[in-house]
Amino acid sequence: MLRLYCENTACGKVPFAEQVPGLTVRYQRRTPLLQRVVEAAGVLLAGRGGARMLRVLNVTLSRCTVLSQLMRMPLPPLVTPWVLGVDDFALYGDTYGTLLVDATTRLPLTLWEGQDAGQLSRWLREHPGVGFVCRDGSLPYRQGISAGAPEAVQVSDRFHLWQGLSRRVQDIAAAHRSCLPAALPSAEEADPAPDEKTTENAAADTRAGQHAQRLFQAVHPGSLPRLPATTLGRGGTQRDDPPSGTPRQGRPRALPAREDGHRAPATRAAAEPAPRAPAVPA
């Protein structure tokens, strides 16, 4: 970039610099590419977040500078949407404003203070071409849309549609509360008795029962396994209960009483004490 000067002593541009298109801009300290990076960071992250992101990119700027560059950006050209969304929002306290949104791109178009039907109709006349208007049940909005865009179709938004439907259903249910018990089915029809299944089939339907059947068929091919009610032990393992009258393994059963009325000891170890070890002389 060349620095030039004017030989005319009356000229105030002494000296001046040559401007390179795409690289330098008059009265700017950043190149156009860096300026677009700063503006993009401001649009996406605003002041503090944009300044932190730019610091990562080795561009040191304060949050106030990022916000000032953001406010200097020109607004995009307004395109009349085919589907327009109109709703109110709270500015502060009891003061409400009107917000217009493009329902297709979900981008805000404009906003103003108040819920005036005349201002909404004036905006619709200045921006013709709206085919559908999505709004709530506000009367001023309905009047403004009818006056500004009479050919547009007015539809209710999803939130207020579900809200109105739920309130209507609640009112109907409260008005006919006494009729609800008669419309309910009886206890027998609501809870039918479960089908009675044999114990063996119920045990065979479980995963452990099916695994036991496969093991039994592998060991005893051609025979059917017997799955009693207590076929599943602790941890899902299979065990067979002994037939009635057969003592279980583990704790010994007591023997029947003798003629003298005394009960015989269960085992020899239980009747006789264990022999002691001989004492070792010191």
Q: Which of 163, 197, 231 is the last residue of a domain?
A: 163
For residues 119 and 148, membership in a common domain is answered with yes
102: domain CATH number?
3.30.420.10
pLDDT the model gives residue 48 = 92
Q: Which of 45, 71, 97 is the last residue of a domain?
A: 71
Question: How do residues 187-240 score in pLDDT, each as one tens digit?
Answer: 666 556 555 555 555 555 687 778 788 888 887 776 655 545 444 444 444 454
Q: Distance between CA 51 and CA 45 in Å, rounded?
A: 8
Q: Which residue has the tokens 């000891």?
A: 265
Question: How do residues 104-144 score in pLDDT, each as one tens digit?
Answer: 988 889 999 988 899 999 999 999 999 999 988 888 999 99
For residue 26, the enclosing domain spans: 3-71
pLDDT the model gives residue 248 = 53
Strands of 103-167 (E only): list them. Answer: 107-113, 132-135, 153-156
For residues 59 and 123, membership in a common domain is answered with no
Q: Which of 29, 51, 71 is the last residue of a domain?
A: 71
Please, what is the end-to-end C-alpha distance for the chain in angstroms? 113
Residue 149 lies in a domain: yes
The residues near 150 (Cβ < 8 Å, ≥ 6 apart) are none
Residue 111 lies in a domain: yes
For residues 63 and 97, membership in a common domain is answered with no
CA distances from 254 to 202, 246, 265 (A): 36, 13, 7
Determine contact, residues 3/15, Cβ cutoff 8 Å.
yes
Number of Cβ within a 10 Å radius of residue 143: 14
pLDDT the model gives residue 238 = 47
- How many separate domains does the chain show? 2
Residue 44 lies in a domain: yes
Residue 117 lies in a domain: yes
For residues 95 and 152, membership in a common domain is answered with yes
Looking at the predicted structure, is the pLDDT value of residue 251 above 60? no
Residue 184 lies in a domain: no
Residue 89 lies in a domain: yes
Residue 272 lies in a domain: no
pLDDT the model gives residue 224 = 58
Residue 273 lies in a domain: no
